[in-house]
Structure 1
Amino acid sequence: MATPHEKLADSLQVLKALQDQHIAVFQTSVLPTLTRVHQERLVRAGFLKQVIRGWYLPNNPEDGDGDSTHWYSNMEAFVAAYATSRFGNEWQLSAELSLLKHSGHTSISKQLQLQSPKANNQLQELPHGCSLFLYRVSPDMLVPGRAPSESGLLLMPLPEALIRSSPTFFTQHELAAQIAMRRVDISTLTARLLEGGNSVVAGRLVGALRAVGRQDDAEQLAGTMQAAGYVITESNPFQRLLTQIAGRANESPYVQRIQVMWSGMRDEVITRFADAPRRAPIPAEALLSDIAARYIADAYHSLSIEGYRVSAELIEKVRNGAWSPLTNREDRNARDAMAAKGYAETHKRVSALIGRVVSDELKPASAFRSDFFQWYVTLFSPSVTAGILKAGDLAGYRSNPVFIRNALHVPPAPEAVRDCMPALMDLLEAEEHPAVRAVLGHFIFVFIHPYMDGNGRLSRFLMNYMLTTGGYPWTIVTVQSRSAYLAALEQASTYGNIRPFAELISGLVSLQAAEPVERITQRPESGSWTAPPSVAP
């Protein structure tokens, strides 16, 4: 008779087979291998979680009930699968949500609206306060040329989405609207407006084109509509003067987004750092001595998280009775030890670069650009040597999606990372203020999240490299400030509000500049922390 461990292993084998077929969302009525017995067994063990009746997602058994990470990372894929199951291909995302996707907006929208002739104006409640409204439209409201997003949501084409969006979109989602207006093909947009006879909408879009710097295209659209007999009254739907985006209009929307964020946020950072202590240049030896004295308190854990998948090794552990929902202590200790070693080696490398920049009066951003990739390699080389990671993991930027625990912000797709990282380097090199390089360099780096792991540690190395080469002290993001730190990054990533993050970092800079070095690791009330012995260099 099979033991409970063997039965669970059998159920996991079924789950793994489905995942190997790239099935991420499970509708049990169409998956005969995922029987009720397997469902119940996997749910009890924490490997499956019900979304709504008859629909499940794979789950990490270590996640608590309140952990939203896995749901946010799979919500759009679930909605796409659910809509396709109910409506076939006769559905589309609303115009406003389609525009957000076209503009490189990556944060999770907790309320989604789908349109379909087969819908029934029903609100479907989803986990973690999310919902899906199924809005009934006439068949002629389905837009030809709908195309799936990366998660499978069927989007309206950009011109049609602009025509159908409400005027308030331009003020409520100014950056998304600006990027959309820069990217839209003027010929296709004009043809769609002529087909629908949308003179009022045309007047609004003429004004929007002019606001984003497309003067010739605005004149072309207005002239063509007037030549066709339409009366155009131009109006600018943006309520304020826009920060103009450099580069090509057809450049990656993700690149355009981070360029505008940088331009729009830098003044706030400068304001918050107005009173932060900035010392006169000191010899490299004295600076490196101060950095070394802060090393122990500076070590910190990564904030990134990977998706959870069933592996053959896990199945065997379960079958043999060796599996526990808790991480294996031995494995965890080995990982921690290699992480500590990698951190120590990377700290040495960053410190050496700071010394060269200060001694030789190099441009910090240019030196960073040349050296940065070796920071990542150095951080994880010990884990490769120990066999915890594969050598291929050191190859470069991530090739898979990545999600941040309990955050609405979802980093850009892997393909976008290849465009965003050179753009970040360009922004750093063009920036004159060291506090802006430090704060926005840190923020934009974690916004992009270029690696599967290590993003938090690398972004703080980047921040301190820019701080110390700009006259500020090496500054520790403390355990006591961790909640505020994560919340501030989420505010900046999801809502475009950099003020909390700039205030937090400038406050830590001021506090730790005034604190004697020998006391930084000794006084909890200072906002610092004492690291465990394993992080010692």
Structure 2
Amino acid sequence: MATTTPSQRRLAEALKSFKARQDEGRYVLRSDDLGRTERESLVKAGYLRPIIKGWYMSSRPDESAGDTTAWFACAAEFIGRYAESRFGDQWCVSADHSVRLHAGNTTLPPQLVLNAPAGQNSVIQLLAGHSLLDYRAKDFPQVDKRNTVGGLRAMTLEQALIRVPVSFYRTYARDAQIVLTSMRDADELVRQLLDGGHSVVAGRLAGAMRACGRNDIADDIAGVMRRAGYAFTEVNPFFDPLPALCATRGESPYVTRVRLMWAEMREDVIDSFPAEPGLPVDKEAYLTAVQDTYLRDAYNSLSIEGYHVTNALIERVASGIWDPEKNDADLQSKDALAARGYFLARQKVEASIRRILGGENAGLVVAQDHRVWYRELFGPSVDAKLLKTSDLAGYRSHQVFIRNAAHVPPPKEAVRDMMPALFELLETEPHAAARAVLGHFIFVFTHPYMDGNGRIGRFLMNAMLASGGYPWTVIEVTRRSDYMEALDAASSGGDIGPFAKFVASSLSGEMMSAAQ
């Protein structure tokens, strides 16, 4: 019988206490939430990492020193618990960040400002280059003008819009357009403008609403303020013209964000790409060329996701030698299961491409087939009892985080609204390059599944490339860092340029190889 050391027994006991806290939904702990010995054992083993003195967050033992995943997963919980420990319920994030939260923006700013009457105007350095400023707020909003958004105390949208400076509309134009476009009506906003006598702010908000195409609300604000006897001048606070949106009034801000990103980014993508070849005349030759990329594609796509696969393993899977019923190693191997799933899913993707080459709308095909790709991708893991069959049913039901990315995917409730909007955009977009790049980007931005989003995103990209006659394009694992950085620049920074150029350069390599 194996014996355990005292340190192993201490760690085991500490893990029991730690699990009890996590079962309560607490992934951020103060020093006094655990005993000193328990805390030290968990830190040494890598299950806890310090944030600031006296505060710790859950982590994984296999994370490297520079890994930021745990921080972005725990940041909102830490900020909320830390602020409550100091200020009780007398705090909220700044007006700027409140609007961004209401807009569904999940990116943590470099410096988050907390408004609190007891603030000390001090800065606390956090992780990954972030900091916290506790601002002493003299004009603090009352309880009815605060609510909880994204796990943080925020000002209500109306209160935040009244308080943001004019510079907000230039620095965060996208977030401003999202919340203004998504508002159902202006009743509460106008009421607060009147109560506070905010005639200048009212003129700015009316101008902003009109710039967003919300003439109904702009006219309402102007009419009520003038009727109340206020001097009123309408001013557009946006610096640049805004992209036109075909948004539904009162639509989810997450859906509006998808539409707005697409409208803002599509021209940059199209400008980065070579001319569209058009659907191939010889469709069978095109499909044969797609099939010829399988080994290289599977190796690189699986390697990007961290699987340790070899060409020999991929060939065994493709040739049918892989036999989990007779070979326990095949049954238990995570890498082999991933390779088998990729092979099965790739066959379904090729069937989807055949439909697209036959003239069917690419967006409609992918809307119908992407769930099939997902089920095939993880079917072998279900067969091996590593996943439940119910895990293949529908989109994710939990929050997910992307390893070392500043972007935090939207909450699970938003996914079911965002995905139909994505497929609608794919269906109506006339340019294959925009369908490919933005389809891939917004799919992984949304992260609709618990796992496999990168692989399915690349399948989607290649199906859209096929709809324009572009070749199947392999993202090489040797360029993984560039690929992930370009995606994060688009997700957290709103700049699609690096990712569009990255895909175009990968595409150019495939086109040159085909020409040779």
Could you state the TM-score of these two structures normalised by the residue count of structure 1?
Answer: 0.87
Question: Is 1:65 equivalent to 2:68 in the alignment?
Answer: no
Partner of 1:19: 22
Q: How far apart in 1 are the matches of 2:500 and 2:173?
A: 22
Partner of 1:366: 364
Partner of 2:385: helix, strand, or coil? coil
Partner of 2:53: 53
Partner of 1:37: 37
Partner of 2:498: 500
Q: CA 1:225/1:239 → structure 2, altered by over 3 Å: closer, same or farther?
A: same
Shift of 1:2: 6.1
Opposite residue 393 of structure 1, the aligned amino acid is D
Partner of 1:525: none
The 5 A counterparts of 1:3-402 are 3-29=6-32, 31=33, 34-138=34-138, 140-142=140-142, 144-151=144-151, 153-184=152-183, 185-273=185-273, 275-276=274-275, 278=277, 281-299=280-298, 300-301=301-302, 334-358=333-357, 360-402=358-400
Q: Indicate if the aligned counterparts of 1:25 and 1:55 stay in contact, CA closer than 8 A.
A: yes
Q: Indicate if the aligned counterparts of 1:303 and 1:404 stay in contact, CA closer than 8 A.
A: no
Partner of 2:145: helix, strand, or coil? coil
Out of 2-11 and 130-139, give the one that drifted further: 2-11
1:491 aligns with one of 475, 489, 492: 489
Partner of 1:124: helix, strand, or coil? strand
Opposite residue 177 of structure 1, the aligned amino acid is A
Q: Deviations over 1:475-526 (max 9, x none)?
A: 1011122111111111111121111111111121122111149x9xxxxxxx
Q: Deviations over 1:262-309 (max 9, x none)?
A: 111111111111x3562662333211210111111112138679xxxx
Q: How far apart in 2 are the matches of 1:222 and 1:405?
A: 47
Partner of 2:326: none
Q: How far apart in 2 are the matches of 1:183 and 1:262?
A: 17
Opposite residue 16 of structure 1, the aligned amino acid is K
Q: How far apart in 1 are the matches of 2:289 and 2:127?
A: 48
Q: Indicate if the aligned counterparts of 1:106 and 1:410 stay in contact, CA closer than 8 A.
A: yes
Q: CA 1:161/1:283 → structure 2, altered by over 3 Å: closer, same or farther?
A: same
Superposed CA RMSD: 2.0
Opposite residue 283 of structure 2, the aligned amino acid is A
Q: CA 1:355/1:432 → structure 2, altered by over 3 Å: closer, same or farther?
A: same
Opposite residue 427 of structure 1, the aligned amino acid is L
Shift of 1:27: 1.6
Shift of 1:346: 0.6
Opposite residue 339 of structure 1, the aligned amino acid is A
Shift of 1:361: 2.3
Partner of 2:112: helix, strand, or coil? strand
Q: CA 1:209/1:503 → structure 2, altered by over 3 Å: closer, same or farther?
A: same
Partner of 2:465: 467
Shift of 1:68: 0.8
Out of 412-421 and 232-241, give the one that drifted further: 232-241
Q: How far apart in 1 are the matches of 2:9 and 2:397?
A: 34
Shift of 1:244: 2.0
Out of 487-496 and 340-349, give the one that drifted further: 487-496
Shift of 1:331: 11
Q: Deviations over 1:46-77 (max 9, x none)?
A: 11111112211111010011111110111111
Partner of 2:312: none
Q: How far apart in 2 are the matches of 1:199 and 1:114?
A: 27
Q: How far apart in 1 are the matches of 2:304 and 2:398?
A: 17
Opposite residue 73 of structure 2, the aligned amino acid is S
Partner of 2:50: helix, strand, or coil? strand
Q: Indicate if the aligned counterparts of 1:304 and 1:404 stay in contact, CA closer than 8 A.
A: no
Opposite residue 344 of structure 2, the aligned amino acid is E
Out of 44-53 and 278-287, give the one that drifted further: 278-287
Partner of 1:511: helix, strand, or coil? helix
Q: Indicate if the aligned counterparts of 2:101 and 2:150 stay in contact, CA closer than 8 A.
A: no
Partner of 2:333: helix, strand, or coil? helix
Q: How far apart in 1 are the matches of 2:331 and 2:7?
A: 26
Q: How far apart in 1 are the matches of 2:447 and 2:238?
A: 31
Shift of 1:182: 2.1
Q: CA 1:279/1:424 → structure 2, altered by over 3 Å: closer, same or farther?
A: closer
Q: How far apart in 1 are the matches of 2:125 and 2:142?
A: 24
Q: CA 1:461/1:513 → structure 2, altered by over 3 Å: closer, same or farther?
A: same
Q: How far apart in 2 are the matches of 1:390 and 1:510?
A: 41
Partner of 2:321: none
Shift of 1:117: 1.1
Partner of 2:317: none
Shift of 1:450: 0.4
Q: Deviations over 1:213-248 (max 9, x none)?
A: 121321221121122121011110011221122122
Shift of 1:140: 4.6
* Percent identity (aligned): 45
Opposite residue 173 of structure 1, the aligned amino acid is Y
Q: Indicate if the aligned counterparts of 2:181 and 2:247 stay in contact, CA closer than 8 A.
A: no
Q: Deviations over 1:339-363 (max 9, x none)?
A: 00000001111112212332x3222
Shift of 1:142: 4.2
Q: CA 1:497/1:332 → structure 2, altered by over 3 Å: closer, same or farther?
A: farther
Question: Is 1:416 equivalent to 2:414 in the alignment?
Answer: yes
Q: Deviations over 1:416-452 (max 9, x none)?
A: 0000001111001011111111111111101101011
Partner of 2:453: 455
